[in-house]
Structure 1
Amino acid sequence: MSSYFTTEVKSIYDTTLRALEDDSNLKFNIAEVGFFKMWWEQAEAEQRDSFRSLLSSRRFEFVGGGYSQPDEAATDGSALIKTMTAGHLWINSTFGPSSLPSVSWSLDPFGQTPTAMSLFSQMGFTDAVIDRIPYSTKSFLTEATSLEFFWQFRDSSPSEKIFTHVLHSYYHFGRNGRLEPDIDRLYWGPQASDHVSSFEINSVQRAAKALHEQMAEQSIGQRHNNVMVLFGKDFSFQNATDEFGKMTPLVNWIQENGLELDPPMRVKYATASEYFEAVREETDDEVFPVLGQENTPTTTKSFIPYIFSDFISSKIFGYWSGFFFSRPALKENARAADALLNAAEAFSAFSPTRPTSENELQHATEVSNLMTHHDALPGTSLTAVTDDLYSTLREGASIAQQILEKTVASLLGVPSTRKSSPALARHGGEFGGEVLDAHSEDEERANFWKALRDADSSGQIVPLALVNSLLREREGEIVELDIPIDLAERVFVVGVGKGEQQVVVSSDNEECTLYISTSAAALSISSLGIQVGGTDNAPIFHEETILHNIQQLPSTAADPCENTFAVEILNFSEATGELCSAADNTASVSYGAYRPIRDDPWIFRPVEKSEPSRIFSRTATHYVNDGPLVNYARQDLVLQNELDDATPMHLGSKLLVTKNSASIYLTHTIGSDSNPISEESEIAVELYSESNESTSSFHADTNGNVGGLQKRTYNNETPLPGNFFPIVRLASTDNQVVMTTHTHAISSLKPGALTLMLHRRLSNGGMFEGGLDFAKDPMQDKAVSISKMIWLTSPPPEHNMQDAWVLQEALEEPIIVLVAQSQSSISSVSAVSTPPPASLRAEITTLPGNPKKIVLRLSHSDPDNETEVQYDDWATSLFNTTITGPVASVEERSLSLMHILHTSSQVCGFDSKTMSLCVEPGKIRTLVVSFSQIIK
């Protein structure tokens, strides 16, 4: 990113500062703190003094103020909070609280969500500027003079709202981002490089009148006489003096002659907050509609997905939904890195080693914040930029893991086992562990496996081993690997490449064979599948499965399937037709079909207005564990036919639970663009298990039973609130991927409890408004975060699901969760004891008479020694210690422990004040604490 800053960004701040120094009428908005911070650190003392002066006089102004301008659909809510927190903390510490922004700035994210805007409202923003909403919706709002409205997020909390301005067409001013020809001449004409004085005065007059006409047209969608005009475009201020020199003559002409025009008009340079101040001075709040209520032309509360169309005709359109699942390897690795950072932040806050880790933690945090950028995590950056993101991400994850291991070891009084930085296979895999090149010599491979076995036998905690097939560099080559069967569950095979290469992985047990087939290299994803018998060229698949080879997919759909990609990994026995019992494999399965109309990375963007882009997506997730399958996940590739106004887009998924496996399958139908507001959309989730196949409702009741079918059909006018639906979390913090209303992703399933997180908006207040009633719809918008435990096996008889909510409801802090990570977790260390305790018991308790105070008591017992060791002192101080360091200036702070059940753990006790978690011998290694921050 440093080279990108040097070549593309630095000159913007250098030249803009000089331009504002030379002309007292000019003003400038700064949105992203990340790059500005880099400029500030390199700026001369005179530049800093000048900027401070211009900032205090409101000629420079921060808008948004996050470390980056975050995506709002693929980004996790906690990551969005962190990037805004980082930016605001830096502004506050550098320039003081008076410089904190009051205007949220979301110009380029591909759709806006109520989840993000609710968070922005709680961060203290009073106003918001947005742009990319479905163009048909924008047309409706324009016709109803409702391009400005109050966006209210909860009916029960009228104060939680933000005044929102929707840009008339695009963040490049003008019709479809272009100015009239006379104005174009000033920008892109043959004399554009010359000073404007070289033009005849009548040229300036014609251009100014054209500008006046466009501003008058833009005022139609508003209920007052002020018009916001965004001047500039991507990188246009790299020579700010020249850029201002093109517009200033037009501004001056209108200022001198505007009262004689029809309609009369005055124009001046202003900051975003000055515009909203002018609106409030002229107009009362009651004049504006409240989004989602009856006095608006649409009752929608969400602007996802973004549907692009020609703003004038509203006929040419395309769904910008490809970024929900493009570059999934990047998305998965970003989640893993962010989870490591959360854990590292939490532990370092209480660790005596924090001062030595401060700079490293800051760097890892900046990497995480960078990934929230609206062109980073969505995967819409150029390939070279994405490659740089992978490199930066690996570095940040490595730093976070080192901090985590060091601080946890320090807290527990044991030496850290870290010897070297973890490695990450390029473009895939999980963080941590050693990487073996598939093309290594036999001796090197043997040493690799021996080292892994030695580490296991010595009790040392070793992360997953990665096998990198390096398909990018060896296109078309078939690579064979011998993976010892006793280490199969510790190995993750990574392959990224172009075309349809294969990697055949054979184990010592000849019954089990894996192969890898990659396709759609622009997605940077490995495609893995199961081969049952047959040959490499003609595999035979189990008749009960639908695990496709890449070459088989075109036969199930139309032409676009030639670009289909798939991802599967299983370990299967030819002899028995069952999963190999020695392996505990999990993987995601992703299907997508698209027709590219431009080269990478634009394949998911409709850019040809003459013909809409056909974008289809399918994502499902297989969770596979030891033991035979009871049911098989049957999947269909749902494709849209020839696009026309009557054909919707379909995304499908269902959740199939078997004895030891499950598959999530989520269906979403997007209405056609001809009238998307009135088209119905559907989210259907089907859940099956051996004992509950006949039930007709989907929720965990007070006895913890799993229902069989839950179906929620809704109209776009009343969509599900929030965009995080659902989030799946299992077993460890490093294995979670956000799922939105329009896409979904992966998490590992382990025997025990499956936790579905239905994320809603974060709140500064209590977690619940009246608690959670399982007899009603569990998706009702009552809670900030609802954690629902669905048992794949029968829960203990004494377990009552309702008791969990009694405890949480009594606490004003967010949900309390304890993370017990398995020995295969990449962020674990040998921490609790060696050998591991026979059992560990964790109790989360409210202090007598003070429900706001929380105590976590940890203890483990060793039957061999008949002893019980308690960690009361450490645990109590952990929660009662005041957080110091960078978060000290955060006005509202919340601590939370994430409770995710381990592979072999079970809830062994509940009452209204205490929750206990028991873990089998040898299964606990790391306790992770995480906290979230909210700026008011």
Structure 2
Amino acid sequence: MHITIYYAILLLLGVGCFEATYKSQSGCGYGSCNLGQTNKLNVHIVPHTHDDVGWLKTIDQYYYGSRNNIQHASVQYILDSIIEALVKNPERRFIYVEIAFFWRWWNEQSNDTRKVVKELVNGGRLEFISGGWCMHDEATTHYNSIIDQHSLGAEFLRDQFGNCARPKIAWQIDPFGHSREAASLFAQMGFDGLFFARLDYQDEDRRNQTKTMELVWKGSANLDRQSWLFTSILSNFYDPPDTFCFDSSCQDQPIIDDPRLHDYNVPERVQAFINAAHDQARGFVTNHIIMTMGRDFQYENANTWFKNLDKLIKYVNAQQVNGSDVNVFYSTPSCYIYALNKVGREWTSKIDDFLPYGDTPHGFWTGFYTSRPAFKRYERYANNILQATRQLNAFSQINLRNRIFYLSEAMGIAQHHDAISGTEKQHVADDYIQRLSYGIDIAEDVINNAYAKLLPKENKLSMTPTQFLCEYLNISECLPIEEQKEFTLTLWNPTIHPVTHHVRIPITKEYLIRDPTGSIVSAEYLPISNMTQNIPGRNSSAQNQYIFTAQLPALGFSTYYFEAKSSKKEKTEKEKVRKETCYLENENLRIEFDDQGNLRKIINLKKHISVRFITQGFYWYSSFPGNNSAEEFQASGAYVFRPLTSEVRPVSTTRTITCIKTKTVQSALIVFNEWASQEIHLFQGMSSIEMQWTVGPIPIDDNIGKEIIVRYDTDIDSASKYYTDANGREVLERIRNYRPTWNYSIIENVSGNYYPINSRIWIRDSTRQLTILTDRSEGGGSIYDGSIEIMIHRRLVHDDSEGVDEPLNETAFGKGLVVRGKHFLILESPANSALAHRVDAQQLFMNPIATFALPQISYTKYSSIYRQTWSALSENMPLNVHLLTLDQLNPKQYLLRIEHYFELNEDETYSHPVKIDLQTIFQSLGTITGLIELTLAANFPLSQLQRLDWITTDKQSSHVDVSSEQFLLKDTIVILNPMQIKTFQVTL
């Protein structure tokens, strides 16, 4: 088949065999676009397929077409069929989005087929849109992973196809709400526009009526015009107009154009299409509209689509001689955007986001902000491993980037809008997790090889002990070190700042712990709580743990050596208080409880401010048990959060508290019942409070689904306002029961006020700000003044009828899933909060990576052979700068991303431009001899960026000066402005 296609395209390129409705221009890019006719309604026909990278089936099942009893879909046949159909007619066009699928298909093709595909791409007939590994979610993703998955796809397209494959448009047609930060990132990647389909039904109604379905989205409050992105909202979801689906899976009538037949239907089909075009045009302001022709996993038989579209175009345009003003032709999203740009009109703008998304009065898609919380945390952990592995690979120069690809690819798949969102079937969620686990296993091998180069001292040849991860440390389990006489713990700090890290190591015997200088570490030997020991699936016999403070160098490691004590030593001195009034205190904070275990007050001792807690603890909403037969019967499910009532119930009316105080840490273990507890930790020297929660198995024996929240009710006068981050970066103000751009009708007063919390949420008054940091994406809001609630777990008994077709009821080891996580509480004055929450959030996101080894040699010998601490940096780096990416591309070239992670006017000291010398990062590797600044997706030089310019109704231009002079760096000094990310290709 491949050779047949090849010869067919050579023939068709030379001899026209179809009566074209217009003469296409050669080449790719905007020069190949048909801009229509100025006196006609121009209908841009965009053939497309939406191929979920896992949802009801796994990515493998979708690609190969297995388990079609679940859903008939096979991407390999879709791509085969599309190429064959495009070859038959040079006027046809098609867009493709999900590179995770295309990459698989491409690797299977012959050289002849690859040549055909390259001809189609170079001719602008097959166009890649978005170009990410997947169509990522926008609510529960972190900006680091969004950038990575787009870079992964962009690198593939650049390397295989060159400039003609560079995507110009973001295509987010199915994610469940849209983030302002995502728009900003797309703009920084060099995109000219964004399309999406889902927005709140109230917002959509208003925009249709006011003809504001297209706008300039100002994606950042800090980056000005470089973050602006033209945005078009698809009016018909991403479907064809009614009755015009020509896929073999559809039931609509084909175009029957033989007038001799009784079923001849050209006149009525043509008129129906003209009517549909005019109906759609009523919501738009130009004489251009876009019609998406395709849907989920369509075009498996592309001939059925294209044959009918060819006829439709021919016969609709033929009516122009009879007075029709409709001009229809094959197009692409980029050509449509280009046509709008050439109209030369002014556009409305928007500065907030499109969250939350509600498709009906009772259908707010805010449940998925928390759905599958264990997976959401595991994805963050996997990204932590990925970034550290890239760094270790770079500094050790072992050149194993191809091995890191497995984790990069698994992370790219995990960003899909039915992956990290938690809205997939259970067996698909299992597959996503397995892929991450496999990628981590291979990354562990890279880490081990890197340490084999970094650990040994010069001229000391030895077999370096194998390094390994203990992935169950969060439940106090590390089986390989149990009963060992000696072992080492090496901590890699992936940030460019020294950090203080609090280490917890589960053990079965007592040890002396030596720091990198050989000194004995002051460590606390404390019991592991019964709640932890009883977590289902925990196999460790460890009943105690060591807790100590580690000081880690910037972008480097420290090794701690554990050697078993020869005899029992006196236990750590500690004060233990049970069922009595308790308080925790260090030099910065005091935490007070009553004798029932209720958190009552937090005092910032240095700032002389305090917050009183009216209540704090675990509560649950009863999930609405609807049958989804009508809007009013909408059930709560994987996507939708709909509580039965706005009232919450406490998980328990009583609780017990046990307080333990040592020199290193003071803790309060509060047990609510057999399935809900929290441990509040206050470490010496810290100005934040760690609250570790454990929830599950959530009981559903009563056949009632339960949405578990942690609620913090305080005396802060928050005046209906609260603040949440967008994808871990900029923070947006939220106002209860309010939307900035339309008159919001309040129907669901709880779920309608939930927003994604990717890293932080806060409330404040004139003197106090309470910030809560999260270790994963969660949903939450402020339903009452002074209150923050965060949903941390869900176990449901009904499906919400949004497609996944099964209840969100996660189990493990024969029981409901137990989930453990952390919140960090920060109490500061509003003026001083930014430093605390920005720095702590970054360190929480990029946590030190712990690896263990069994050297089986004494400390004296170990210290003589191996380095015990090392840093890539010889100078201190500015505190407001973060190393986002360090990836070795080849022996002499590196990909580097650095960012300023403070916002404008956020902090008196750190919200200003900052200088950084890039050579400092590469000091241990060599001298920088070449430096090229790239776009955010790292697929072409920033000096070559030429984005379309737009004018807003307030007479502002989106134009950004990107003259080449700006990017000819004379040295390695770079200036970063607040919230700016800079990307470089570095040659040593």
TM class by shorter chain equals 0.5 to 0.7
Matched, 1:236 2:298: yes
1:421 is displaced (CA, Å) by 6.1
1:933 is displaced (CA, Å) by 4.3
SS at match of 1:25: coil
Are the structure 2 counterparts of residues 826 and 63 from structure 1 closer, same or farther at C-alpha, using a change threshold of 3 Å?
A: farther
Alpha-carbon displacement from aligned partner over 1:842-892 (angstroms, at most 9, x marks no partner): 74158xxx95425769xxxxxxxxxxxxxxxx8554785879999986636
- 1:449 counterpart letter in structure 2: E
1:243 is displaced (CA, Å) by 2.7
Residue in structure 1 matching 2:116, options 50, 54, 71: 50
Matched, 1:260 2:322: yes
SS at match of 2:265: helix
1:727 is displaced (CA, Å) by 5.7
Counterparts of 1:14 and 1:346 in 2: how far apart (Å)?
A: 39
SS at match of 2:215: strand
Residue in structure 1 matching 2:206, options 115, 140, 144: 140
Corresponding residue for residue 908 of structure 1: none
1:689-708 aligned within 5 A: 697=766, 708=768
1:118 is displaced (CA, Å) by 1.0
Matched, 1:891 2:941: yes
1:397 is displaced (CA, Å) by 1.8
Q: Is the 8 A contact 1:223 1:288 kept in 2?
A: no
1:383 is displaced (CA, Å) by 1.6
Counterparts of 2:349 and 2:76 in 1: how far apart (Å)?
A: 39
Counterparts of 2:534 and 2:442 in 1: how far apart (Å)?
A: 22
Are the structure 2 counterparts of residues 320 and 492 from structure 1 closer, same or farther at C-alpha, using a change threshold of 3 Å?
A: same
Corresponding residue for residue 601 of structure 1: none
Q: Which has the higher contact order (CA 8 A, sep 6+)?
A: 2
Matched, 1:158 2:225: yes
SS at match of 1:341: helix
Counterparts of 1:89 and 1:336 in 2: how far apart (Å)?
A: 24
1:252-291 aligned within 5 A: 252-258=314-320, 260=322, 264-281=325-342, 283-284=343-344, 287-291=345-349
SS at match of 1:129: strand
Q: Is the 8 A contact 1:408 1:831 kept in 2?
A: no
Corresponding residue for residue 15 of structure 1: 81
Q: Is the 8 A contact 2:167 2:191 kept in 1?
A: yes
Residue in structure 2 matching 1:737, options 752, 776, 786: 776
Q: Is the 8 A contact 2:93 2:330 kept in 1?
A: yes
Are the structure 2 counterparts of residues 558 and 205 from structure 1 closer, same or farther at C-alpha, using a change threshold of 3 Å?
A: closer
Alpha-carbon displacement from aligned partner over 1:616-656 (angstroms, at most 9, x marks no partner): xxx998643579x9999999x9xxxxxxxxxxx99965699
Corresponding residue for residue 167 of structure 1: 234
Counterparts of 2:669 and 2:314 in 1: how far apart (Å)?
A: 62
Q: Is the 8 A contact 1:68 1:373 kept in 2?
A: yes
Aligned residues: 654
Q: Is the 8 A contact 1:890 1:933 kept in 2?
A: no
- 2:286 counterpart letter in structure 1: H
Corresponding residue for residue 189 of structure 2: 123
Alpha-carbon displacement from aligned partner over 1:516-568 (angstroms, at most 9, x marks no partner): xxxxxxxxxxxxxxxx99xxxxxxx95536897999999xx98679999989x
Corresponding residue for residue 206 of structure 1: 268
Counterparts of 1:56 and 1:336 in 2: how far apart (Å)?
A: 40
Corresponding residue for residue 522 of structure 1: none
1:162 is displaced (CA, Å) by 1.7
Are the structure 2 counterparts of residues 487 and 22 from structure 1 closer, same or farther at C-alpha, using a change threshold of 3 Å?
A: farther
SS at match of 1:165: strand
Q: Is the 8 A contact 1:72 1:116 kept in 2?
A: yes
Counterparts of 1:137 and 1:832 in 2: how far apart (Å)?
A: 68
Counterparts of 1:827 and 1:334 in 2: how far apart (Å)?
A: 25
Counterparts of 2:264 and 2:253 in 1: how far apart (Å)?
A: 16
Alpha-carbon displacement from aligned partner over 1:468-504 (angstroms, at most 9, x marks no partner): xxxxxxxxxxxxxxxx98673999769579xxxx999
Counterparts of 1:561 and 1:236 in 2: how far apart (Å)?
A: 41
Residue in structure 2 matching 1:382, options 425, 428, 433: 425
Matched, 1:61 2:127: yes
Corresponding residue for residue 802 of structure 1: none
Q: Which runs of 5+ in 2 are unaligned?
A: 1-58, 66-73, 493-502, 508-523, 546-577, 580-594, 600-614, 624-641, 696-707, 717-722, 726-732, 747-752, 782-789, 793-819, 856-861, 879-913, 944-980
Counterparts of 1:12 and 1:588 in 2: how far apart (Å)?
A: 55
Q: Is the 8 A contact 1:345 1:361 kept in 2?
A: yes
Corresponding residue for residue 482 of structure 2: 449
Corresponding residue for residue 769 of structure 2: 709
- 1:853 counterpart letter in structure 2: D
1:716-735 aligned within 5 A: none
Are the structure 2 counterparts of residues 879 and 319 from structure 1 closer, same or farther at C-alpha, using a change threshold of 3 Å?
A: farther
Counterparts of 1:589 and 1:369 in 2: how far apart (Å)?
A: 38
Q: Is the 8 A contact 2:147 2:185 kept in 1?
A: yes
Residue in structure 2 matching 1:393, options 426, 436, 442: 436
Q: Is the 8 A contact 1:409 1:831 kept in 2?
A: no
1:93 is displaced (CA, Å) by 1.1
Alpha-carbon displacement from aligned partner over 1:364-410 (angstroms, at most 9, x marks no partner): 21111111111111011222211110100111122223323432442
1:291 is displaced (CA, Å) by 1.3
* RMSD of equivalent CA atoms: 6.0
- 2:63 counterpart letter in structure 1: F
- 1:385 counterpart letter in structure 2: V
Are the structure 2 counterparts of residues 621 and 14 from structure 1 closer, same or farther at C-alpha, using a change threshold of 3 Å?
A: farther
- 1:161 counterpart letter in structure 2: W
Which structure carries more helix by proportion?
1
Matched, 1:624 2:665: no
Alpha-carbon displacement from aligned partner over 1:15-44 (angstroms, at most 9, x marks no partner): 000111122232100112111111101012
Alpha-carbon displacement from aligned partner over 1:694-738 (angstroms, at most 9, x marks no partner): x9646xxxxxxxxx3369xxxxxxxxxxxxxx865xxxxxxx435
Are the structure 2 counterparts of residues 260 and 823 from structure 1 closer, same or farther at C-alpha, using a change threshold of 3 Å?
A: closer
Counterparts of 2:677 and 2:217 in 1: how far apart (Å)?
A: 33
Structure 2 length-normalised TM: 0.54
Counterparts of 2:447 and 2:530 in 1: how far apart (Å)?
A: 21
1:204 is displaced (CA, Å) by 3.9
Structure 1 length-normalised TM: 0.57
Q: Is the 8 A contact 2:299 2:305 kept in 1?
A: yes
Counterparts of 1:818 and 1:16 in 2: how far apart (Å)?
A: 45
- 1:364 counterpart letter in structure 2: L
Counterparts of 1:173 and 1:27 in 2: how far apart (Å)?
A: 16
SS at match of 1:267: strand
Alpha-carbon displacement from aligned partner over 1:550-608 (angstroms, at most 9, x marks no partner): 99999xx98679999989xxxx997x5558999998999999xxxxxxxxxxxxxxxxx
Alpha-carbon displacement from aligned partner over 1:273-320 (angstroms, at most 9, x marks no partner): 222222233x10xx232313xxxxxxx5210111113xxxxxx45111
Matched, 1:112 2:178: yes
1:72 is displaced (CA, Å) by 1.2
SS at match of 1:236: coil
Residue in structure 2 matching 1:6, options 57, 60, 64: 64
Matched, 1:250 2:308: no
Are the structure 2 counterparts of residues 892 and 584 from structure 1 closer, same or farther at C-alpha, using a change threshold of 3 Å?
A: farther
Counterparts of 1:841 and 1:188 in 2: how far apart (Å)?
A: 59
Matched, 1:215 2:277: yes
- 2:97 counterpart letter in structure 1: A
1:62 is displaced (CA, Å) by 0.7
SS at match of 2:482: helix
Bigger drift between 740-749 and 228-237 goes to 740-749
* Identity between Structure 1 and Structure 2 (%): 18
Which structure carries more strand by proportion?
2
SS at match of 2:359: strand
Q: Is the 8 A contact 1:464 1:825 kept in 2?
A: no
Counterparts of 1:588 and 1:358 in 2: how far apart (Å)?
A: 45
Alpha-carbon displacement from aligned partner over 1:407-452 (angstroms, at most 9, x marks no partner): 2442344678664865757xxx759x9776xxxxxxxxxx97324x
Are the structure 2 counterparts of residues 890 and 61 from structure 1 closer, same or farther at C-alpha, using a change threshold of 3 Å?
A: closer
Alpha-carbon displacement from aligned partner over 1:191-248 (angstroms, at most 9, x marks no partner): 8799987985543432332222222111112221111000011011112112323443
Corresponding residue for residue 897 of structure 1: none
Counterparts of 2:150 and 2:669 in 1: how far apart (Å)?
A: 32
